[in-house]
Chain A
Amino acid sequence: MKASSQGIGSDLPALKARYPEHFAASWTKRAAVVGVVTVLSGLFLFGFWRLDFSLDRILSGIGKLGTLVLLMLPPNPGSWAKFFTFIHALAETVAIAFLGTLLAALVAFPIGLVAARNTTVNRLVQFASRRLLDGIRGIDTLIWALLWINVVGLGPFAGVLAIMTSDIGTFGKLFSEAIEAADRKPVEGIISTGGTRLHQIRFGILPQVFPVIAGQVLYFFESNTRSGTIIGIVGAGGIGLHLAEQIRTLEWQAVSFLVLLILVMVAVIDALSARLRRAIIGRSQQPPM
């Protein structure tokens, strides 16, 4: 009965007869791939034609871009007074991003709990909170900014609210997914000792999801310093307002100075948050102090 290893697979015809599906070339799959590629390239070309893509305009545009860049050199805020105004506005943008992200995380955590299968109150609440999160998420930060400006007026407060509302949706979804991915066994251990639902969440779920959630929040803070610039342009506070103003008054050297400031800020915050994220993940592998 024992087959030597050289004998494995040697009765090709018999194996073919037993498992025909593994030997048949799957032409249908290949046709599907070819079809998808054709349709996608068709759409691509159609889009170019429909949106008036023209090589001429790109070439002449590049020329204009060249003159703009020359006008921007050297970067210069204009005066010390403007310099300090710009720095103040930059700090405001960072503050808007920080507060907005933190508030969003605080509001999103309880919603994430009820939206997660394993910690929700009941099916109906879970369904409702999921739809709510999807709805919030469907609206972009910029649109929220325009809405909040109408509600609370121009300024940084509208910016904080805009970032908070748009991120609640995404955070809620990410948090609920992290909670659903948490291991069930520690939670069961807590239940078996007579722990309440809150105990299960506090001791069974939270220690598991905290590093994940903290990493996500930091990442969003980083990206919100960038969206904080954009929403400033529509009047929700911060450095974007000044950027729009300098472009309108054709102060190109001030514009390039502002762009440089933003670049430096984004780089510094990226570096800081990357270090913090590494510290949080690293800490989860070392003994707690």
Chain B
Amino acid sequence: MLVIEDLSRRFGQKTAVDRVSLTIERGSFVGVIGRSGAGKSTLLRLVNRLVDPSAGRIVYDGVDVTHLRGKSLRDWRARCAMIFQQFNLVGRLDVMTNVLMGRLSETSGQRSLLKLWSAQDKAMALSALEQFDMAGFAAQRTEQLSGGQQQRVAIARALVQQPDIILADEPIASLDPRNTRLVMDALAKINRDYGITVLCNLHSLDLARAYCDRLVGMSSGQVVFDGGPLDLTEDVSRRLYGLEAGDVLEIDHIENSRSSLPAAFAA
């Protein structure tokens, strides 16, 4: 269980994350929604400790991870794998090496620096790639793959970390609709098959409703909504996205795109 207590992060005058408190149950699939600049990315980066908090605590299974350093910090990062909007893979390295980056914290320094991966690690990487139909690309240079393929490589990297949590920061924001579905399905599969908790930032309300069992709405760094997908009424989403009464056009747009989703997808 991940407990976030009164977590804040300031950048100069700007408070990106403002006294956020959340409890994320093990095995849940939680969507974080809100318009851009709301503080979603910063929240996820705080959990992985890519960003240090200005105040507050992050506690996982009773252990305070807010101030970890050195090896214990790296071990914590390995337990909460991150997936990025821009994939953050090493484009010049092959797919296999990129996936094996997920094993770094479990491999001794000299062996990993010389790329002397164990047979088990390689097997793990290949089987992770296989699950997302990417094993055939294992020897390819990563930058030659399409965005959707790269994101599946990134998910494979996250999976071989054998994490408790996956933090996905707008994983589909740079993808086309087909790849969007492939990547979201991959996350759903990981959540279902391995019981890994998924905390996923999403731009699109439709996707959030379709995939998440719980939604957390953020605005100006604060949590302004927390509930099930059905609790997300039009009124709430209007407030979340800061739409004024006059922005009828935008509301129409959101509703149109929702109704145009195939029924099976929305289910």
Which A residues form the contact surface with B (CB < 8 A)? 185-186, 188-196, 198-199, 202-204, 207-208, 284, 286-288
Contact = CB atoms under 8 A, between A and B. Distances in A.
B84 A199 contact: no
B161 interface: yes
A195 B109 CA distance: 10
Interface in B129-143: 139-141
14 contacts: A186-B91, A189-B84, A189-B90, A190-B90, A193-B81, A194-B74, A194-B78, A194-B161, A196-B104, A199-B113, A203-B90, A284-B92, A288-B139, A288-B141
Contact of B101 (A189, A198, A286): A189
A204 B87 CA distance: 13
Given A194-B75, A203-B101, A287-B144, A208 B161 contact: no
A202 B113 contact: yes
Nearest to A185: B88
Chain A facing B: main interface SS: helix
Contacts of B91: 186
Nearest to B106: A194
- Which 8 pairs of residues, A with B, have the shortest CB-CB distance? A189-B88, A194-B105, A194-B78, A192-B82, A194-B74, A207-B92, A194-B77, A186-B90
Given A186-B90, A189-B154, A195-B105, 4 more contacts: A192-B48, A193-B77, A196-B104, A203-B101
- In this complex, the member of A191, A194, A284 whose beta carbon has the largest number of chain B beta carbons within 10 angstroms is A194
B20 to A, nearest CB: 20
B144 to A, nearest CB: 7
B86 interface: yes
Contacts of A202: 113
B86 A287 contact: no
A138 to B, nearest CB: 34
Contact of B77 (A191, A284, A288): A191
B90 A204 contact: yes
A233 B93 CA distance: 46
Contact of A207 (B50, B76, B90, B139): B90
B180 interface: no
Contacts, number: 83
A185 B150 CA distance: 14
Q: Which one of A193, A195, A207 has the greatest number of beta carbons of chain B within 10 Å?
A: A193
Interface residues of B, number: 34
Contacts of A196: 74, 104, 109
Among B86, B89, B90, B93, max chain A CB count under 10 A is at B90
A198 B77 contact: no
Contacts of A199: 101, 104, 112-113
B92 A195 contact: no
Contacts of B144: 287
A194 B77 CA distance: 5
Contacts of A207: 90, 92-93
A126 to B, nearest CB: 21
A198 B112 CA distance: 10
Contacts of A189: 82, 84, 87-90, 101, 154, 157
Contact of B78 (A186, A188, A193, A284): A193
A186 B86 CA distance: 9
B149 interface: no
Nearest to A210: B92
A185, A186, A207, A287 — most chain B CB neighbours (10 Å)? A186
A191 B48 CA distance: 9
A199 B113 CA distance: 7
B86 A288 contact: no
B52 interface: no
Contacts of A203: 90, 93, 97, 101
Given A185-B84, A287-B144, A193 B92 contact: no
Given A199-B113, A287-B139, A287-B141, A193 B105 contact: yes
Contact of B86 (A185, A191, A286): A185
B101 A190 contact: yes
Nearest to B167: A192
B226 interface: no
Interface in B91-115: 91-94, 97, 101-102, 104-105, 109, 112-113
A196 B72 CA distance: 12
A150 B86 CA distance: 56
Contacts of B97: 203
A193 B86 contact: no
A106 B74 CA distance: 30
A198 B105 CA distance: 12
B90 A192 contact: no
A288 B94 contact: yes
Contacts of A188: 50, 84, 88
B164 to A, nearest CB: 13
B50 to A, nearest CB: 6
A191 B139 CA distance: 23
A189 B142 CA distance: 14
